[in-house]
Structure 1
Amino acid sequence: MVAIKTERIFSSPISADHDEMRCGAAVFSARPCSDHRLAVAVLGEVDAVNGRDFARYVERHARISRQLVLDLRAVDFFGSQGFTALFYISVHCARSDVDWAIVASPPVRRLLAICDPQSELPLADDLASALERLDRLAHRRAPLVWSGRSGWRTG
């Protein structure tokens, strides 16, 4: 009888609190910032090859968070599928009650200026202003408290 074993030929740099995925010409990376805030960063190009995967990656990770920072500062190319992904992420965050903010590179800003002229997506000038925005939203949000027969009330 021949002994067969599985041998890992590469070591994964991903820790338990960090997830990374390569898709097309981009790398998506998610990392918790705190118990309630998650950061998703993108490096490379978001286009027709990986736009849908980008949206699904963010959706999958945003499920466990109340706030999301979408860091697109390292994006070199952002096609129309990238905008479609942002719209999908926006709908998901609204339905899931997740506050979010986008920090963008010049290619992302250029496309958003065309596709989102009303500035409905939460685009921030820089990372500091994105975090300030999320902090303000967190302070406005009153926690719900169960009060017995009368049901839920703000606490």
Structure 2
Amino acid sequence: MPEITMKTSPAPSTLPDGGFLSRPWEGHTARLASRRLRWSVAVISAHGDIDASNADTLTEYTLAHLTRCRGLILDLRNLDFFGTEGFSALQRVSVCCVRARVSCAVVPGNAVSRMLRIGDPQGLLPAASTLEAAMATVQDQPHLPPQPMTSRGDAAQFARCERTVCLVCGGTQQLQHDQGTSTEANARLDGPALTVVAPGLEAAKAEVGVR
């Protein structure tokens, strides 16, 4: 079994720590952990490699905390490898945060920053250089209640239907935005499966390959 090589951790954050939210998850090549800062902000941290074998786990582990926080920060500074599947996972998390009206931000390391330069050249995903900057980003975003379901039938229809979700506004139409968002930068929601097609993803695959 290959060992996970942990890099030296960044300087400790000065943000107040509210303790762990759930048990860490550990696989063959990656480790995920969660903790809660004050102001109901959850921080999901990842170590090791994110690739095809665990990108879905990153998505599921992160989204499991949406109902328990008003803000979400993905701390990805300690990743050694971040493949195209990890980029798709970030897009899925971003879409779900918009739907849940949860503010989110990403703190990328070298591996993630390289992928974002290729797959997200327009900077649609909210990225910050430090946890403190990510916290400021999350706090600056207005907190809105989740979109309500008016009936059980609405909930069932929502679970079955296929919708196109804008990565910028969370709307269910393919909108052109001033930021230059194209109709390609959309996620298609079909029941529990969420597949993202984003600009630059094919270029990213060609650059780093699928792992």
Per the normalisation by structure 2, the TM-score is 0.56
How many pairs are equivalent?
127
Could you tell me which residue of structure 1 aligns to residue 78 of structure 2? Answer: 74
Report SS of the residue matched to 1:123: coil
> Which piece of structure 1 moves more, 92-101 or 19-28?
19-28
Match of 2:50 in 1: 46
CA contact (8 A) 2:31 2:46 kept: yes
2-structure distance, mates of 1:39, 1:63? 14
State the alpha-carbon separation in 2 of the partners of residues 103 and 16 from structure 1: 19
1:16 Cα deviation after fit: 6.6
Matched, 1:100 2:109: no
> Whose Rg is larger?
1
Candidates 60, 67, 83, aligned match of 2:64: 60
| SS of the residue 2:52 aligns to | coil
| 2:122 pairs with 1:118 | yes
The answer on whether the counterparts of 2:66 and 2:102 sit within 8 Å (CA) in structure 1 is yes
Query: Larger % of helix: which?
Result: 1
- Sort the Cα spacing of 1:111 and 1:142 in 2 relative to 1 into closer, same or farther, 3 A: closer
Aligned twin of 1:147: none
SS in structure 1 opposite 2:26?
strand
> Residues 16-55 of structure 1: matches in 2 within 5 Å?
17-34=21-38, 36-55=40-59
Extract unaligned runs of 5+ from structure 1: 1-14, 144-155
Contact 2:20–2:35 (Cα < 8 Å) also in 1: no
Question: Post-superposition, which runs of at least 4 consecutive aligned residues in structure 1 deviate over 2 A?
Answer: 15-19, 140-143
Contact conserved, 2:31 with 2:48, CA < 8 A, in 1? yes
Give the distance between the partners of 2:144 and 2:104, measured in 1 at CA: 17
Q: Return the offset for 1:35.
A: 5.1
Measure, in 2, the Cα distance between the counterparts of 1:16 and 1:40: 10
C-alpha deviations, 1:81-112, integer Å up to 9, x for none?
00010011011101000101100111100001
In structure 1, the partner of 2:206 is: none
Q: Percent identity?
A: 33
List per-residue Cα deviations over 1:29-61 (Å, max 9, x = no partner): 011112521110001110000001110110111
**SS of equivalent residue, structure 2 residue 69:** coil
CA distance in 2, matches of 1:133, 1:49: 31
Whole-angstrom CA distance in 1 between matches of 2:88 and 2:143? 28
TM-score (norm 1): 0.76
Pair 1:141–1:64, CA change in 2 (3 A): closer
**Aligned residue runs from structure 1 range 79-90, under 5 A:** 79-90=83-94
Opposite residue 78 of structure 1, the aligned amino acid is: F
